[in-house]
Chain A
Amino acid sequence: MPHLTVENLRVGYIPGIDILQGLSLEVKPGKITGIIGPNGAGKSTLLKAVFGFLVPHEGTMLFNGTPIQGQSPAEIKKQGISYIPQGANNFPFLPVKENLLLGCWTFRKDKARIEQVIEETYELFPALAKKHRQRAGMLSGGEAKMLSIAKELVTSPTLAMVDEPSAGLSPIITDYVYEFLAKKRDEGLTILIVDQNIQKAVEYSEYLYMFEMGMVKMEGDQHVFSDHIREIIRDSLVGEDE
């Protein structure tokens, strides 16, 4: 059974204007699924809809077979979905440790578990351990991104949705982030990635979707995309019909 199933989803920001126009896709467990496509295709909109920031007015979303459409982000988080938005999603005036503690909100009464996951996070990201008393706003771009990712993964979700993991980061940090996500996948985490960086998304995803104008234009296994990557990148840069 797929981990996440989206069927015939219609959703947008303003009543009467749908960004996603009857979109369907599946996210298989234990794999990285990638979504690519031009600006405005609805990639980020899909993630926002799954996490409950946007309420679809048509279609269904099933997580482990249970419908989740219409639920609030807090309810969706509790079921094991984490959403890592684009850029740094931290609390800039709070220390690194407080940022991580806020990530532990859903199990805030379990002190032992909090201590354990924070310890694990510090082992994974020694840079954060070193700066745990500093304000998150003082971190470098790469460290801030690590904190944003770590903060959403402390809940041990089963599905992580990552929006533009490479945006605004140097190639070295981008590689680091992708390697980290691949490692998490190997440990059993299901990942749904949206990225403008087509090369990286294709390199790391087992299955891919290409969106255009709120619809799935193309889908397939990694090799289907990697075999045509030059054409795909060219089309996404210049557009096909122009």
Chain B
Amino acid sequence: MDLIILTQYVLSGLVIGVIYALMAVSITFVHGMMKVVNWSMGEYYMMGGYIQYLLITMLIGPSLWFLGIPIAFAIIFVLGVVIQRYMLHPMFVGESERMDEYATIVTITLMILFRNLAIIFGGPYQYSVPDYFPPTDLGPLPISGNRFMALIGTALILGILYYVMKKTWPGRALLGMSQNRIGIQTAGINVRRLDEIAFGIGVGLAAAAGALLAPVFLVWAESGSVPTMKGFEIVVIGGLGSIPGSIIAALLLGLIESLGSVFISSEYRDLFGFVFLILILIFRPNGLFGDRERLA
């Protein structure tokens, strides 16, 4: 096979991987900080898409699309804080023995609620957001402008996240919380507030992903389900709670899907990821980075 074509497939796989990474990081972020799985993650992605659609069509217009991403993040961050404070926080008091089950029930309930609210307000339609950028070239790879912007946007958002976690006091406290909740409290940090910030950032990232990817995948009530599925796949491959693991696993999944569809068959695109997942579960049940690294 032509080397240029191969390079193109590798590149397009990596682009897809980067696009997957944001959602996976948001899932693993919430799990790493709070030790619960948030099953409604895809719905924050979905709402991020709707917010972006409404902003572009009614308020800021298509040329200022990039403003919609921080706005979607901010709105869903606030929603996340409210959900954490009034619906999830009760599971951390009174020595509740069934914390995971409680969180599962609450977050699945929220998933159903948000999907149906989206249908009530938006109808059963799929909305398409105007293109962010004209088609362009990424080295030898001709790429849609939307994917190109998603690539840059994701890299930027992950860069900001890295900076916040490594260089700021709240980030330092969040990292500490993911490793030792008692230690955070003996240091005099308000763990309730920190939980709210952690959940807010986690769901905010999902919303930012939804807004960023609105023109790549369509905006509709169940648009969050595929990213969530891919996200969980990646998180398990990379190791629950490991942010670098999630990013690397996302790139790997993108590559495997892209190369698998070329060399085997594009019909089985989604299958390759699951085969990879099963292999990981057999040979490294904790994921690629699960036992060595948590959140760093």
Q: How far is the CA of A93 from the CA of B178 in the complex (A)?
A: 10
Q: How far is the CA of A155 from the CA of B182 in the complex (A)?
A: 17
> Taking the complex as formed, is B294 at the interface, i.e. its CB lies under 8 A from any CB of chain A?
yes
Stretch at the interface among B2-10, B76-84, B130-138, B183-191: B183-191
Q: How many residues of B contact A (CB 8 A)?
A: 24
Q: How far is the CA of A77 from the CA of B180 in the complex (A)?
A: 17
Is A152 within 8 A of B293, CB to CB? no
> Taking the complex as formed, is A105 at the interface, i.e. its CB lies under 8 A from any CB of chain B?
yes
Is B296 within 8 A of A155, CB to CB? no
Is A78 within 8 A of B188, CB to CB? yes
- Asked whether A74 and B172 contact (CB < 8 A) given A89-B183, A90-B183, A93-B179, the answer is no
Q: Which single member of A74, A92, A98, A101 contacts B185 (CB below 8 Å)?
A: A74
Q: How far is the CA of A92 from the CA of B182 in the complex (A)?
A: 13
Is A102 within 8 A of B184, CB to CB? yes
> Taking the complex as formed, is A170 at the interface, i.e. its CB lies under 8 A from any CB of chain B?
no
> Taking the complex as formed, is B173 at the interface, i.e. its CB lies under 8 A from any CB of chain A?
yes
Q: How far is the CA of A84 from the CA of B185 in the complex (A)?
A: 11
**In the complex, what's the smallest C-beta–C-beta distance from B125 to chain A, in angstroms?**
46
Contacts of A204 in B (CB 8 A): none
> Taking the complex as formed, is B285 at the interface, i.e. its CB lies under 8 A from any CB of chain A?
no
**In the complex, what's the smallest C-beta–C-beta distance from B171 to chain A, in angstroms?**
11
1/0 contact string of B160-199 vs chain A (CB within 8 Å): 0000000001001101100110111111111110000000
Q: How far is the CA of A74 from the CA of B169 in the complex (A)?
A: 16
Q: How far is the CA of A105 from the CA of B295 in the complex (A)?
A: 20
Is B175 within 8 A of A91, CB to CB? yes
Contacts of A106 in B (CB 8 A): 187-188
> Taking the complex as formed, is A53 at the interface, i.e. its CB lies under 8 A from any CB of chain B?
yes
1/0 contact string of A97-112 vs chain B (CB within 8 Å): 0100111011010000
Q: How far is the CA of A109 from the CA of B174 in the complex (A)?
A: 17
Contacts of A93 in B (CB 8 A): 175, 179, 293-296
Q: How far is the CA of A103 from the CA of B172 in the complex (A)?
A: 11
> Taking the complex as formed, is B95 at the interface, i.e. its CB lies under 8 A from any CB of chain A?
yes
Q: Which single member of A53, A94, A103, A152 contacts B175 (CB below 8 Å)?
A: A94
Is A102 within 8 A of B173, CB to CB? yes
Other A-B pairs beyond A77-B188, A89-B186, A102-B184, 5, CB < 8 Å? A72-B192, A78-B188, A91-B175, A94-B179, A106-B187
Residues of B near any A CB (own CB < 8 A) = 94-95, 169, 172-173, 175-176, 179-180, 182-192, 293-296
